[in-house]
Structure 1
Amino acid sequence: MKRIFYVYSNEFQSYKFNESHPFNQRRVELTTDLLRMSGVLDDSHIVPPRLASDEEIALIHDPNYIEAVKKAGKGELSADVAENYGLGTEDVPIFSNMHEASALLVGGTLTAVDLVMEGQAEHALSLGGGLHHGFRGKASGFCIYNDSAIAIKYMQRKYGVRILYIDTDAHHGDGVQWAFYDDPTVCTYSIHETGRYLFPGTGNVNEKGQGEGYGTAFNIPIDAFTEDESFLECFTTSIREVAEFFKPDVIITQNGCDSHVLDPLTHLSVTMKVYKEIPKIAHEIAHEYCDGRWIAVGGGGYDHWRVVPRAWSRIWLEMLEIQDEIAQGPLPQEWVDKWQPKAPVKLITTWDDPENLYPPIPRKQEITEKNRQTLQKALQHIRNTKKKQNCF
């Protein structure tokens, strides 16, 4: 019987800036509850995260930065020094014990890595992770430590593998891309809303890697108001070519679900159809190239009540290979009854989105054509890289 594991602790919620901040790990509790009440997650699946060590965090982050995070969480860092490290900003407010909370999210991702790489599981999911904007010496975009980048470096050092990182967050996976921009054994792929309108403003098609890593960074920046059909056309076509080109030993997927039309921070217009297909394609790639080795983490997603639990649950259901059996019809009434009194919005109570969730986009054809042009540029990059490799 196939083994898969769900890395989880209630302590994931200790990574909390303040009540009004858009990043809130209550999302993970909502998702976990939905899976439990759907009868597909029990204690036999759940593995607690460990705390990442300073040495593990330092695989990516500067030791001086790690010390600054520790001091900030104890109230021992001055405002001007904190700002130099990206701490105490509107995006990354300082909160008590922020180092420990951040190290637990990193440890959750590393726990998932070891479960898969040591053969205890084919797939592992840690929804507390996916903080892809953190840099070597600076916090950014709600992210203090970059758990995915740390996990990739950890896998390189401990297991000597080639890694494909797949990022489907609406925001470009900049921190992971730049960490491995000159590394030919890591391939980074990000499909995201164009940086013309959205933080962090990077992720252009012409960001292709450098030095020995040239040709192993791939970006698909799609236009604002992109809908399901165009998103999936760009994603499915490009990620399959990237996987065939790179032939990874393991994949790690960052599963931000902030491209949804209801997300308050972005401008894309996809529905739950996209979040049904993304894990299916990742699952297929994992089995075709990696003997099933697939580590999945969370990411962005700021409609905590209506979108994130349904989207993230589909990753677990896909890992179990029961997505099409379970994710139909209504959500469990027990879950709705528990959370509706606490929700500031009316919950969507079905696995799929209601019909006519939003009015038709007036510029749909124009947006689709622009995305196809972007896709063709990206595909040409893949094919040119393959040609160059074949010359040697």
Structure 2
Amino acid sequence: MTGKATFVFSKEYLQYQFSQDHPFNQQRVLMTKELLESTAMLKDQDIVSPRFATDEELRLFHNHSYIEAVKNAGKGKLNKDEGLLYGLGTEDTPIFQNMHEAASLLVGGSLTAVDAVLNGESDHALNLGGGLHHGFKRKASGFCIYNDAAIAIKYIRENYQLKVLYVDTDAHHGDGVQSAFYDDPDVCTFSIHETGRYLFPGTGEVNERGIKEGHGYSFNLPIDAFTQDDSFIEVYESAFKNIAAFFKPDVILTQNGADAHCYDPLTHLCGTMEIYERIPVLAKELAQTYCDGKWIALGGGGYDIWRVVPRAWAQIWNVMKADQIATGDLPKEWLEKWQPKSPLPLPTHWHDSSEAYPVIPRKEEIKEKNNKNLQHLLKYTNTSAS
């Protein structure tokens, strides 16, 4: 069942840039938009400009002194030692000019998406500039200054009083969002990610279940390095379906990091486009089952910005807008624009050739580990939270 969808975008998203050679590059958002325009799936009437988040909205999650530190950092007025206390000026999260404004626009984009859906203007909304899930209340972390997902959920709770299911398919654990709602029974968080034994931030074990009234509403599914499509999809679908049935959300918010792909330079998973063709289909299906279609999707990680991210993210919109997955050749005009800028040959088809992926000798062992963690998680969806 198709519905009205909103695409939140501004070229100003590209101002969120730590340095020329930093792996976090918002050019991928522009590339995705232009790919969709080249296929005629994205029209001008679908696009809504983001607004800036206000300081009051940022304070729904972030500490006032931290926000002031970000402002000062972006003006060159924060000393190094103070910056490091707030996670600013690190290798992961360097300081850049006007960083407060750039980060506030990404947050505002996610709030724009929320309002579009919950005011009834759209059934679904997509803000690919968002999904910065590692930001903490008083500290930047992992390329994330302000945590737009956490702020958006706090905003939903304050302004709409709805129960929110947050689903994070980034290869890195959604630690900042989990921390924001670890004691909240009205927000259920689910993160499927590469095990923290090998990957930042090192958290997200199955026994991280929440505290106080929120105990039982935090779900984590760590998967082993070199996990391939079949195992990823099997455990993701089973966990998501069972968690949704357990929690019965009013709205679903998804973080759609595209770094579980085997081409990604920062992770160790072995997914292909197949997982990115399935992830949004299930999200929309469960939003229709439990939430009258109310689904807000954000971007996230994804560091092969040329070969992977635009195709993966474009499929979210294809599902939102038309209940379809794009297949066949990529648009010639898009390839002609971006191939000269790419350091690697761009794929010419929406779906990868399986020949591009390595043979994994431990495949059955990896699947067994992933299924063990899934069974551990499913135990908690079969009983009421306590």
Read off the aligned partner of 1:224 and give its amino acid letter.
A
For 1:188, what is the secondary structure of its paired residue? strand
Paired amino acid for 1:203: G
1:151 is matched with which residue?
152
Q: Secondary structure, in 3 states, of the residue corresponding to 1:124?
A: strand
Q: Which position in structure 2 is the counterpart of 1:40?
A: 41
Query: Partner of 1:145: helix, strand, or coil?
Result: coil
In 1, distance between residues paired with 2:89 and 2:260?
A: 27
User: What displacement does 1:357 show?
Assistant: 1.3
| Post-superposition offset of 1:355 | 2.6
Per the TM alignment, residue 42 of structure 1 is displaced from its structure 2 partner at its CA by 1.4
Query: Per-residue displacement from partner, 1:110-144 (whole Å, max 9, x unpaired)?
Result: 00000000000000000000000000000000000
The answer to whether 1:319 aligns with 2:347 is: no
User: Which residue does the alignment assign to 1:117?
Assistant: 118
The residue number in structure 2 matching 1:342 is: 341
Q: How many matched pairs?
A: 385
Name 1:266's counterpart in structure 2. 267
What is the correspondence of 1:12-31 to structure 2 with a 5 Å cutoff? Answer: 12-31=13-32
Cα distance in 2 for residues equivalent to 1:329 and 1:40: 15
TM-score w.r.t. structure 2 length?
0.99
Q: Which amino acid in 2 is paired with 1:94?
A: I
1:332 partnered with 2:337: no
**Once the two structures are superposed, what CA deviation does each residue of 1:308-333 show, in whole Å capped at 9, x if it has no partner?**
00000000000012423xx1111000
Cα deviation 1:246-295 (Å, max 9, x = unaligned): 00000000000100000000000010000000000000011000001000
Corresponding position of 1:369: 368
- How far apart are the structure 2 equivalents of 1:156 and 1:142? 26
| Matched-pair contact (CA < 8 Å) for 2:3–2:320 | no
- The reply on whether 1:356 has 2:355 as its aligned counterpart is yes
Q: Residue type of the partner of 1:315?
A: I
Deviation at 1:23, TM superposition (A): 0.1
Structure 2 residue matching 1:86: 3-state secondary structure? coil
Give secondary structure in 2 for the equivalent of 1:225.
coil
One-letter amino acid matched to 1:130: G
1:49 is the counterpart of 2:50: yes
Question: Aligned partners of 1:181, 1:2: CA distance in 2, in Å?
Answer: 33
Alignment of 1:1-392 (within 5 A): 2-324=3-325, 327-384=326-383, 386=384
Structure 1 runs of 4+ with >6 Å offset: none
- Alpha-carbon displacement from aligned partner over 1:353-386 (angstroms, at most 9, x marks no partner): 12311221010011011111111111112223x2
Distance 1:356 1:372 in 2: 26
Output the amino acid matched with 1:330: D
Indicate the RMSD between aligned Cα atoms, in angstroms. 0.9
1:197-245 superposed Cα distances (whole Å, 9 cap, x missing partner): 0000000000001100010000000000000000011100011000000
Secondary structure of 1:323's aligned partner: coil
- One-letter amino acid of the structure 2 residue matched with residue 355 of structure 1: S
Q: Distance in 1 between matches of 2:157 and 2:373?
A: 31
Given the superposition, is the C-alpha separation of residues 272 and 54 from structure 1 closer, same or farther in structure 2, using an over 3 Å criterion? Answer: same
Letter in 1 for 2:305: H
Query: 2-side partners of 1:358 and 1:283: how far apart?
Result: 28
Give the Cα separation in 1 of the matches to 2:290 and 2:28.
31
Distance in structure 2 (CA, Å) of the matches to 1:336 and 1:218: 40
Q: What residue identity is the alignment partner of 1:280?
A: V
CA contact (8 A) 2:257 2:302 kept: yes
Deviations 1:2-27 (A, max 9, x none): 32110000000000000110000000
